[in-house]
Amino acid sequence: MSQAILRVKNLSVRLENEQVIKDLSFEVREGDIVTVLGPNGAGKTILLKTLLGLLPYEGEIHWQSGIKIGYVPQRLPFIRDVPMSVREFFGLKKISKKEIKEILNSVGFKENFLDKKVGELSSGQFQRILVAWALIGSPQVLLFDEPTSGIDIGGEETIYSLLVPAKGKRNLTILLVTHDLSVVYKFSNHVICLNKCPLCQGTPKEILTPEILHRLYGGEVKFYEHHRH
C-alpha cells in the first residue's frame, strides 16, 4: 500500500466565533484523488486553506516531510482586472521562457497564447492558466478548489481531460473540491462528505447513494453514475 502523504486528525476550525469545521479526520495516500463534497458554506474551501497553513486550527495536520504542494484557487477575479499578458503573468514566477512554454503546452496552449491579455481569456482558458500556474515547480500534491465553477460544459471537459494525463505524467496526488458528481465517479478513489461536521467517507460507490446525498445537500439531487468507457 502507498504511504500516507497527509494525515489529518480531529481537525476543527473556528472563524469569527463560528465553527466552520468540526472534528474531521482523514488520510491521503500517494496517488489518491480525494474529492471533498458538500453544500455551499460547508467548509470545503476553508479546509483547503487550512491544509495550506493559511488559517488557525485545532487538531493535527501532518504532511509528509518536504512535500511540494500546488494550489488552484476557486477564482482570482482581481488578476483578470490587471492589464497584463499571459507571458507577464508567468514572468511573476521567475521561471525561464522554456519552462513557461512547456507548462503552457502541458495544459493545451500554444506559444502564440503568451501575448494574450489575461482579462480577455474565457473562463475555461483562465482555469487552465491557473492549473499551469499551480504546476510550476513540479508539486507532488495538487489542491484544486471548484475547478468547474462558472465554466461551461466544454470547459469542464477540458479541465478534467487535463487532470488525468497530468496526474499520470507527474505522479500527482490530488485533493479536489467540486459539486460535480460525475467527476467524482470518473476520477476519485475516495470521497469526504463535509457539512461543517464530516458526514461520511469512503469510495464513490459506497458513498454516492441517494440517501447520503440527500443528507448532505437536502432536497432532490440529480443522481447519475457515469461509467468509464
Q: What is the phi/psi pair of residue 103, to 5°? A: -70, -35
What are the extents of the domains in the chain?
Answer: 68-179
pLDDT tens digits, one per residue of 97-142: 888 888 888 888 877 788 899 888 887 788 888 888 999 989 999 9
Q: How far apart are CA 26 and CA 61, in angstroms?
A: 10
Residue 68 has pLDDT above 80, yes or no: yes
Measured CA distances, 120 to 85, 102, 107, 127, 167 (Å):
9, 22, 18, 13, 28
Mean pLDDT over 164-173 rounds to 81
Q: How far apart are CA 208 and CA 193, in angstroms?
A: 10
Task: Locate the DSSP E strands across the chain.
Answer: 4-15, 18-29, 33-37, 58-63, 69-72, 141-145, 173-177, 190-195, 197-202
pLDDT the model gives residue 1: 66
Task: Give 157's pLDDT tier (boundaries 50, 70, 90).
Answer: low
Query: Which homologous superfamily does the CATH classification assign to the domain defined by 68-179?
Result: P-loop containing nucleotide triphosphate hydrolases (3.40.50.300)
Q: How far apart are CA 145 and CA 44, in angstroms?
A: 8
pLDDT the model gives residue 149: 55
pLDDT tens digits, one per residue of 4-21: 999 999 999 999 989 999
Q: pTM of the entire structure?
A: 0.86
